[in-house]
Structures are given as structure tokens and as C-alpha cells.
């Protein structure tokens, strides 16, 4: 009888994009279960996993909630499903699954692996939310068999907070699938477009991008600004206004981000915090320069002034200055930046290496 592995995440879509290679390998040796929110109106298709003999169950989760009653229910739901499956190993991704499944596994004596895909806003300020999160993480990870980090700074912070006690390993995020995200021909000279892909929320730097797009469009009217992502905060009215003014183009959802990356001259990632920015890895793999916040999880994805530029996060003027600096580069330098980015991905961010690291840990724990 095959051993059971249960993977718990806050996003079905992210599993499809970033963990499909790992899941495919797991199904060859283990019976695999998934527990995550499934949003069919957003294109989630659980049948694709069922076709791979992966058992998929929908979770009710509000990713942004801090309501104690909602969180208590979510914690109980996760514990209940773990007890129902009784897996040989649980693998968790993102904050709430890491904490709630970690607490359950520690109590039930079930081995588990946690993936820290970013610390989120809870660690940004010294306040009550941070104290609660640190306390919960300490308890949740106390018996964790392996903690994977996507950048060394996140590990340093958790060590500093006294959370991390057991084995840990830093990967290059989820890595990038270099067979899917292939190098694309760079846009023609004079056909300049800037791309933002991410949830439309302050922490992702949407304020800075919209501000910079509006001013760049005034100065360079032939440039384009493409926004791809779901609304998570109240930006809908502002975005519609900028669409009407001809400043930006907006697309709410895509299952093929590489199509938009092929259109753009550069990706802009002005995020405030990341584990490891997947859109940066993917864009660089397609041969696009990337303009990124100089933060852990973004800064590592670019060789500054070689494959793109870094700029101080949460600064509208810094982003505007960086976009204008890039805009005024000779065309050949922009092409060369994109080529350097592809080489950087091939050398340092191949997803196959990330999958190997996870498979080694899984075999060490359950055979």
C-alpha cells in the first residue's frame, strides 16, 4: 500500500502554477491528497488533479481574515481533514496552512514539512499581530521535520524571533519551469510596454505602479502599461478611470502569463514583501528585463544594472525614476538585459533543483 501525502495550501491556482512538477512526481510513489480553496469562477479546475489520481477537497478560507471565529473554524476544519486522511506526511504552503496544520500535526504525531513562501504583513511592524503570529508559529513548527524557505532573510527573521528550532533549507523559491517559460523574441524597437502581474493590493505595490504609469504616459504617450491580476482591495474605480483615460490596459485573470510577458519590454514588480517572486523568475526566463523592489524575494531575481534594476520599495518616485531610466536606455541594452536575465534563471533558478530538494526531504522523512 502506498504511503499518503497531504498537501495543504491557500490557493489551488498557485499549486497548478508552481507545484505541479512536484505533485506529478509524488503521484508515482505516493497516494496524494490536496486540501485548498477552489474558486471555479476564477478558473480553478480540480478535475485536472483528479485525472492524476490526486484526491482534491475544497477548503473554505478567507485569506485576508483576522476574525478569530473564522480562524478557529478554519483551524478545526484543517485538523478534521488531517484526522480523516491520516497521512504519513503533511506538506503545507503559506501562513495559515503552516500554522493550523502544523499545530494539528504536532498534536497528532504526524510528520510535516512547512514551506515559508513569505512572511506577509504580520512581520512588518512590532505590534500585537506580530506577537500573536510569532507565538503561533513557535508552537506550530516546534516538531516540524523540515522548514523550506524561499530566501535567507525570511529564515534569519524566524531564527531571530526564536521560531525556528529544527532542520531548515533555503531554496530559490518555487524555481521556474524553464521548459514552459522559454526565451521569447524581444518586442520591436519603439514598441514599449510595462507589465504588472499580481493581486491589486497595496502590499504588491500597485499604488506605485499606477502612479508611475500615469506620469510616464503623460511624458511618453506611445508607451503601454499592462495590469494583470485580481482585485483584493478597492482599486476597481481607480483602475477603470485609468483605462478610460487610456493609461493602462487591464486583464483580471490569465492561465498563460507568458503571453503577456512576451508583449512587454520589462516586468515591474514593486512589491513590499515576497518569499520569492514567481513573476520575476518567469519574466526573466522569457528574456525580459525586470524592475524590482530591492527586498528579499525580489532582489535576488535580478542582477542589478545587468538583467534589470532594483529600486527602494514603497517609493513612487523611486519607481518612476527607475522606469524612466530604463525607458531611455538604448534598445540594444534592453535586449541584452533580457538575455542576461534568461542566463541567470538557467544558472540559479531551475525548478528541477527545487523539486529535487523537496523529494530528498520527503524520502528522508517517510522513505
Q: For residue 309, list its beta bridge partners.
A: 291
| pLDDT for residue 165 | 86
Residue 183 lies inside a defined structural domain of this protein: no
**The domain containing residue 47 runs over which residues?**
4-175+350-366
Greater confidence (126 vs 297) lies with: 297
Residues 277 and 358 in one domain: no
Tell me the average pLDDT of the chain.
94
Residue 338: which pLDDT band, with cuts at 50, 70 and 90? very high
Residue 325 placed within a domain = yes
At residue 121, the pLDDT reads: 78
Q: Are residues 205 and 87 in the same domain?
A: no
pLDDT range class, residue 41, cuts 50, 70, 90: low
> Is residue 228 domain-shared with residue 93, that is, in the same domain?
no
Q: Do 148 and 284 belong together in one domain?
A: no
pLDDT of residue 335: 98
CB 10, CB 63: distance < 8 Å: yes
Same domain, 344 and 355: no
Residues 145-150, mean pLDDT to the nearest whole number = 96
Q: Would 185 be classed as within a structural domain?
A: no
**Do 122 and 213 fall within a single domain?**
no
Same domain, 94 and 154: yes
205 and 305 both lie in a single domain: yes
CATH at residue 278: 3.40.50.2000
**What pLDDT, on the 0 to 100 scale, is given for residue 48?**
86
Residue 82 makes CB contacts below 8 A (sequence gap 6+) with 6, 90, 101, 104, 105, 108, 110
pLDDT tens digits along 106-147: 999 999 999 999 887 778 778 888 899 999 999 999 999 999
Span of 40-54, 307-321, 350-364 with lowest mean pLDDT: 40-54
Edge to edge, the sheet with strand 4-8 lists: 54-58, 31-36, 4-8, 89-93, 112-116, 146-149, 168-170
Do 242 and 201 fall within a single domain? yes
pLDDT for 39: 84
Least reliable range by pLDDT among 59-68, 168-177, 319-328, 337-346: 59-68
Predicted pLDDT at 231: 85
Return the higher-pLDDT residue of 78 and 122.
Answer: 78
- pLDDT of 239-278, one tens digit each? 999 999 999 999 987 778 999 999 999 999 999 989 899 9
Please report the pLDDT score of residue 213 as a whole number: 98
**181 is a domain residue:** no
Helix (H) or strand (E) holding 355, with range, is helix 351-366
| SS3 call for 278 | helix
Domain assignment present for residue 184? The answer is no
Q: On the CB side of 349, how many CA atoms lie within 13 Å of its CA? A: 31
Question: What's the total number of domains in the chain?
Answer: 2
Q: Does one domain contain both 140 and 13?
A: yes
Instruction: Report the pLDDT value the prediction gives residue 42, as an integer from 0 to 100.
Output: 64
Q: Which residue has the cell 508552537?
A: 139
Answer for the pair 106, 140: CB distance below 8 angstroms, yes or no.
yes
What integer pLDDT is reported at residue 252 of this predicted model? 86
**pLDDT of amino acid 289:** 98
Claim to verify: residue 154 and residue 41 sit in the same structural domain: yes
Does pTM top 0.75 for this prediction?
yes
Residue-wise pLDDT tens digits, 42-53 = 667 888 888 999
Residue 1: predicted pLDDT:
87
Residue 247 sits in the same domain as residue 360: no
Residue 362's pLDDT is what? 98
User: At residue 221, does pLDDT exceed 80?
Assistant: yes
> Is 186 among the domain residues?
no
The answer, yes or no, to whether residue 172 has pLDDT greater than 80, is yes
Residue 188 lies in a domain: no
Closest residue by Cα to residue 90 from 101, 74, 75:
101
Asked if residue 187 is part of any domain, the answer here is: no
Q: How confident is the model at residue 90 (pLDDT cuts 50, 70, 90)?
A: very high
Amino acid at each position: 500500500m502506498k504511503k499518503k501525502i497531504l498537501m495543504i495550501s491557500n490557493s489551488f491556482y498557485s499549486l497548478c502554477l508552481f507545484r505541479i512538477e512536484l505533485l506529478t512526481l509524488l503521484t508515482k510513489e505516493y497516494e496524494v491528497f490536496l486540501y485548498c480553496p477552489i474558486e471555479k469562477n476564477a478558473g480553478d479546475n480540480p478535475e485536472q488533479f483528479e485525472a492524476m489520481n490526486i484526491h482534491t477537497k475544497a477548503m473554505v478560507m478567507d485569506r485576508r481574515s483576522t476574525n478569530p471565529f473564522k480562524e478557529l473554524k478554519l483551524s478545526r476544519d484543517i485538523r478534521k481533514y488531517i484526522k480523516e486522511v491520516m497521512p504519513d506526511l503533511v506538506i503545507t504552503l503559506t501562513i495559515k496552512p503552516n500554522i493550523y496544520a502544523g499545530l494539528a500535526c504536532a498534536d497528532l504525531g504526524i510528520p510535516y514539512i512547512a514551506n515559508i513562501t513569505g512572511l506577509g504583513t504580520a512581520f512588518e511592524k512590532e505590534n500585537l499581530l506580530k506577537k500573536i503570529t510569532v507565538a503561533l508559529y513557535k508552537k506550530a513548527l516546534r516538531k516540524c521535520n523540515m522548514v523550506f524557505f524561499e530566501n535567507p532573510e525570511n529564515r534569519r527573521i524566524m531564527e531571530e524571533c526564536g521560531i525556528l528550532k529544527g532542520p531548515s533549507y533555503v531554496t530559490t523559491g518555487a524555481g521556474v519551469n524553464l521548459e514552459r517559460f522559454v526565451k521569447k523574441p524581444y518586442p520591436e524597437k519603439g514598441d514599449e510596454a510595462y507589465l504588472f502581474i499580481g493581486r491589486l493590493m497595496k502590499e504588491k505595490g500597485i499604488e506605485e505602479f499606477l502612479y508611475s504609469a500615469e506620469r510616464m504616459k503623460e511624458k511618453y504617450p506611445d508607451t503601454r502599461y499592462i495590469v494583470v491580476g485580481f482585485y483584493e482591495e478597492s482599486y476597481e474605480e481607480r483602475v477603470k478611470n485609468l483605462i478610460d483615460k487610456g493609461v493602462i490596459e487591464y486583464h483580471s485573470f490569465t492561465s498563460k502569463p507568458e503571453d503577456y510577458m512576451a508583449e512587454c519590454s520589462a516586468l515591474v514588480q514593486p512589491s513590499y514583501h515576497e518569499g520569492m517572486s514567481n513573476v520575476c523568475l518567469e519574466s526573466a526566463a522569457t528574456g525580459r528585463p525586470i524592475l524590482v523592489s530591492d527586498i528579499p524575494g525580489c532582489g535576488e531575481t535580478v542582477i542589478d544594472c545587468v538583467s534589470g534594476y532594483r529600486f527602494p520599495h514603497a517609493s513612487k518616485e523611486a519607481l518612476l525614476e527607475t522606469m524612466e531610466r530604463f525607458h531611455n536606455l538604448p534598445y540594444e541594452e534592453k535586449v541584452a538585459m533580457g538575455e542576461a536575465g534568461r542566463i541567470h534563471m538557467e544558472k540559479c533558478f531551475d525548478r528541477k533543483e527545487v523539486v529535487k530538494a523537496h523529494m530528498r526531504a520527503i524520502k528522508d522523512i517517510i522513505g
